[in-house]
Structures are given as structure tokens and as C-alpha cells.
Amino acid sequence: MSDDQIPADSKLTASKRRWAAEGRFLTGRISRPETERLPPGQHLVKNWPVLDLGEQPQISLSSWRLDVFGFVEKRLSLDWAAFQAIEQSTRVSDIHCVTTWSRYDNRWEGVSTRDLLDLAMPTAEAQHVLLTSYDGYTTNLPLVDFAAEDAVLATAWEGQPLTREHGGPMRLVVPHLYFWKSAKWLSRIELIGADRAGFWEKNGYHMYGDPWREQRYSDD
């Protein structure tokens, strides 16, 4: 499924497009991570809200596969057993959604993005990453952010397997960017040269998405 085939008439999709056009939630205030834990315009939640594009793909572990390709020395096509055989890591991080909720101290288990990149070995041309999910969703981020120390390809949350509604069996978690960059149901990781917009980036959202600089929407 391509971006053009993703349902465009869901209430969430329509609302988020309208928010981008209106500049909703922008405060104009820039917080600093060293002095404040909660980014501007955010509020804390104890639960974990569920947001998607209207489809939650059912992916069996027997059919699951992750492809890593593009500007790499070694293209990877990993089934579940091969992915689980990579060294497993634990990370604890806060998450910040562009819809203004934040949740502190989430405990993730999975494969560090750095460990995955060590296997694929990016070439000098690799500067950005384009992510594709099983539901056709796409998003982009710089390679240096994908390779952040606390970034993880998560298969478990709070000691339990990641549920389908939250992106299971595996999703990306890049805590220092708005959570739309942390693609659910991840299936493909393409290392690219020039940056390339994903689904929300084509629909009015920022190409980078730093919560501390309140980069919710595109400047265009």
C-alpha cells in the first residue's frame, strides 16, 4: 500500500490535516531539555493513547519480515527468528505525541537501531532514513536521529510483548522526536541520500519534528 492508498477520510487524518492548516496547539514558547522535562504545549498522561490511520494490520510472527536496504553495504531481510537473534537491549524514555500528550518513563525492549545499523553497514551516501509500515504509512528522519543512543526497534513495552494497537509485533521508538516519527508495524527501512517526505510530512507536518522547538507543522 502506498501513501496514496492510505485511507484519507478517517476522523483522525482529517483532524490532523486541519490542525496543521490552523497551526493548532502552537504556543510560541521554546523549552530547553536541560531545564524542563515536558516540551511546550504538551500535557502528561498515565495511559497510552492509541492513534493510527484507521487500520491496525494483523501480522503473524511467521510472516513478519524486516527489510533494510538502500545505501548499505549489506542488505538485510530478517524474519522474526533472525531479528530476535540480534542482541536485545532495554531502554527507558519519555514519548511526546504531536497531539499534545506526553508519557514519562516507558520501558522498551528490542533491538537498538545502532546494532541493526552495525549489521547493515551504511555507506557514506546514507544521510536519511525512509520508514515504511505494514499499513502503508511512511515517515522520514535523518540517519543520525535514527541512530540515536536511546532509539530502539521495540518488541516489548513494560515487560510485555508490544500489542497490535501500539505497533506490535515491532515498532520504532525515537524518543527525542514527535512520536509520529516512531513508525508502528515497521516493515522496511530504506537508507537514502536526499531527504524524502513521508505521509504526514506531505500533509502539513514538519520534516524533522523536534518537540522542544515545537516543530509540529511545516513552515511551507
Supply the CATH number for residue 176's domain.
3.90.420.10
- Dig out the grid coordinates for 163 from the structure: 500489542
Q: Are 156 and 162 in contact (CB under 8 A)?
A: yes
pLDDT for 25:
46
Burial class of residue 49 in the structure, from the number of CB atoms within 10 Å of its CB (0-12 exposed, 13-18 middle, 19+ buried):
exposed
Q: Are 191 and 71 in contact (CB under 8 A)?
A: yes
Residue 107 is assigned to a structural domain of this protein: yes
Residue 192 is assigned to a structural domain of this protein: yes
- Dig out the grid coordinates for 216 from the structure: 509540529
- Dig out the grid coordinates for 67 from the structure: 527489510
Beta-carbon contacts of 14 under 8 Å, excluding residues fewer than 6 positions away, are 8
Angle at alpha carbon of residue 196, lines to 190 and 197, rounded to 5°: 115
- Bond from prior residue into 33 cis (ω within 30 degrees of 0): no
Residue 28 is assigned to a structural domain of this protein: no
Residue 80 is assigned to a structural domain of this protein: yes
CA dist., res. 101 & res. 49, Å (int): 8
pLDDT for 73:
97
Residue 48 is assigned to a structural domain of this protein: no
pLDDT for 123:
97
Amino acid at residue number 105: D
Helical ranges in the chain per DSSP H = 11-22, 80-85, 113-120, 143-146
Domain count, the chain: 1
Residue 1 is assigned to a structural domain of this protein: no
- Dig out the grid coordinates for 136 from the structure: 502503508
Residue 32 is assigned to a structural domain of this protein: no
- Dig out the grid coordinates for 111 from the structure: 533491538
Residue 4 is assigned to a structural domain of this protein: no
- Dig out the grid coordinates for 48 from the structure: 497510552
Amino acid at residue number 67: D
For residue 36, the tally of other CB atoms under 10 A from its CB is: 11
pLDDT for 13:
56
pLDDT for 36:
83
DSSP reduced 3-state for 80:
helix
Angle at alpha carbon of residue 194, lines to 127 and 19, rounded to 5°: 100
pLDDT for 51:
74
Per the structure, the complete domain to which residue 186 belongs is given by 61-213
Full pLDDT tens readout for the chain, 220 residues: 555 555 555 555 555 555 455 555 455 555 555 678 999 999 999 999 887 777 889 999 999 999 999 999 999 999 999 999 999 999 999 999 999 999 999 999 999 999 999 999 999 999 999 999 999 999 999 999 999 999 999 999 999 999 999 999 999 999 999 999 999 999 999 999 999 999 999 999 999 999 999 999 986 4
